[in-house]
Amino acid sequence: MPRPRRGGDDEDPKDSTFGERLPGGGSLGWRLDREERHPSLSPELVSAAVSAPIVFSGIQPTGRKHLGNYIGAIRQYVEGQDRGDPAIFCIVDLHAISVAYDPAELRERLYDTAAILLAAGLDPERCIFFRQSDVREHSEMTWLLSAVTSHGDLNRMTQFKDKSAKQELVSAALFFYPVLMAADVLAYRATEVPVGDDQRQHVELMREIARRFNERFGETLVVPEMRIPGVGARIMDLQEPERKMSTTGGTEAGTVLVLEEPQAIRKKLGSAVTDSGREVRRAPEKAGITNLIDIYAVARGSDPEAVEREFEGAGYGDFKQAVAEAVVDYLAPVRERYAELRPDEAALEAILAAGAERARASAAPIVADVRERMGFGPA
Ligand code: TRP
């Protein structure tokens, strides 16, 4: 039995529902997505998991980050970095090569993403922050896990279907994307994976891969829990509030970029689509106003009910202006800090290198266990 990396507590793990007792659950607007218990987990692995979460998440180095990314993911990383022990955040450049890309551009976007996360408050002292391709264990683990990954499951991934429809060359890397993602998480025996709702199918698959590995080779890997953001998780396009804010699928005018100048932010919020009513309150038929209420609540650290009270009787024009100012105030410190950090690529490299070293120290013994279990190396 390979030793789990972390010691358990004294309680009988059979008495606890895996996941429910994870410290800090829900306090940051995340909720654990617990559809199932984990009967296959050994008591040791369960107690390792409940003592403190090992949080792992990956972020793509592609595209420009927008307010939806910021609220839905980046902010959550920053708030979650002290909850995980450790919290591990990885810029997933290996995933980025699964679609057409330019190498020089990839490097630029990598630095952009690193700088934005640091500007948002990710602290490399309080979390493990690194570049995926620096830690070769991810690549090795991908191949090893592919032995317990079903081709049929990969074929069913909706992201694969969606993305392959847009590619001239449908690469094998695109097909393998979910295996690499499973490797990212399972190589650390992470217990929690904070991701957007669009990643649900991928997390379910990695859980299946971990279970299948454990069945086939003995208890080795932790079946991670998905954690999806609660309030403010879905920031919608300002022009088409029925769809998510997105730099690829959304409208230009409806997408606020994190690094955008205040004047541009004001303009976009000023022309946000509302409805023919006049009440600042949330309702299914008031998608635009509901979205603005959510945005305002997050930007001011308030909650949607309080926002509705604050703007009772106010007109849409005044409300939109208030939202604009709130977003400007919210993003200004990030933009300023980014401008300081981004030019110093050597400093960014130093941070990523130190993070990679720590990541490797965590992943290497787990990948060694996996290798041994699978019959590699001397007996
Ligand atoms: N696929 C994720 C996304 O597009 C990014 C990702 C890669 C990830 N590896 C991960 C997220 C591991 C969580 C855990 O958002």
Tell me what the mean pLDDT of segment 275-279 comes to.
Answer: 95
pLDDT at 232: 57
Q: Which fold has domain 262-340?
A: Tyrosyl-Transfer RNA Synthetase (1.10.240)
Cis amide linkage into residue 13, ω under 30° from 0: no
pLDDT value of position 80: 83
Q: Where are the alpha helices (DSSP H) in 187-261?
A: 200-217
Kindly report which listed range (26-30, 64-68, 154-158, 167-171) carries the lowest average pLDDT score. Answer: 26-30
Residue 225: strand, helix, or coil: strand
d(CA 42, CA 40): 6
Instruction: Enumerate the CATH 3.40.50.620 domain ranges in the chain, comma separated.
Output: 28-233+344-373
Q: Whose CA is nearest to atom 8 of ligand 1?
A: 58
Q: Two tokens at 61?
A: 């180095």
**Do the beta carbons of residue 372 and residue 218 sit within 8 Å?**
no
What is d(CA 352, CA 357) in angstroms, rounded to the nearest whole number?
9
Query: Could you read off the pLDDT of 35-66 as tens digits, one per residue?
Result: 444 445 565 565 555 678 999 999 999 768 99
Q: Whose CA is nearest to atom 13 of ligand 1?
A: 57
pLDDT of residue 34: 46
Query: Which residues belong to CATH 1.10.240.10 in the chain?
Result: 262-340
Ligand 1 site, residue 75, Cβ cutoff 6 A: no
Print the SS3 string covering 327-375: HHHHHHHHHHHHHHHCCCHHHHHHHHHHHHHHHHHHHHHHHHHHHHHHC
Which three-class secondary structure state does DSSP give residue 235? Answer: coil
Give 196 Cα–ligand 1 centroid separation in angstroms: 9
58 lines ligand 1 (CB under 6 A): yes
pLDDT of residue 349: 98
Q: CATH assignment of 28-233+344-373? A: 3.40.50.620
| Model confidence at 237: pLDDT above 80 | yes
Name the token pair of 110.
């990598």
195 close to ligand 1 (CB < 6 Angstrom): yes
Q: pLDDT digits over 88-126, tens only?
A: 999 999 999 999 999 999 999 999 999 999 999 999 999
Between residues 56 and 26, the one the model is more confident about: 56
Q: Residue 9's pLDDT is what?
A: 37
Shortest CA distance to 132 belongs to which of 367, 368, 355?
355
| pLDDT for position 76 | 84
Q: What local confidence, expressed as pLDDT, does residue 48 receive?
A: 55
> Helix or strand or coil: residue 129?
strand
Q: Is 47 in the pocket of ligand 1 (CB under 6 A)?
A: no
Nearest to 71 by CA among 263, 254, 297: 297
Which 3 state secondary structure label does DSSP give 194? strand
Instruction: Using the mean position of ligand 1's atoms as its centre, give its distance from the Cα of residue 62 in Å.
Output: 12
Buried b (16+ CB within 10 A) or exposed e, 86-103: bbbbbbbbbbbebbeeee
- Note the pLDDT of residue 233: 67
pLDDT at 183 exceeding the cut of 90? yes
**Ligand 1 binding pocket mutation candidate from 76, 176, 184, 197 (most atoms within 8 A of CB):** 184
Pick the closest to residue 261 from 203, 219, 324 (CA basis).
Answer: 324
Residue 25 has pLDDT above 50, yes or no: no
Radius of gyration in angstroms for the set of CA atoms belonging to the chain, rounded to a whole number = 22
Contact 320, 272 (CB under 8 A): yes
When pLDDT is cut at 50, 70 and 90, the band that residue 259 belongs to is very high
Which residue from 56, 57, 207 has its CB within 8 A of the most atoms of ligand 1, so it is best to mutate? 57
Ligand 1 neighbour 164 (Cβ under 6 A): no
Query: How confident is the model over 135-145, as pLDDT tens digits?
Result: 999 999 999 99
**Closest Cα to atom 14, ligand 1: which residue?**
57
pLDDT exceeds cutoff 80 at 4: no
CA–CA distance, 223 with 203 (Å, rounded to integer) = 10
pLDDT at 235: 92
User: Is the CB–ligand 1 distance for residue 60 below 6 Å?
Assistant: yes
From 141, 177, 195, the mutation candidate for ligand 1 (largest count of ligand atoms within 8 A of CB) is 195
Q: What distance in Å separates the CA atoms of residue 168 and residue 101, rounded to the nearest whole number?
A: 12
pLDDT of residue 64: 84
User: What is the rounded distance in angstroms from the CA atom of residue 129 to the CA atom of residue 345?
Assistant: 15
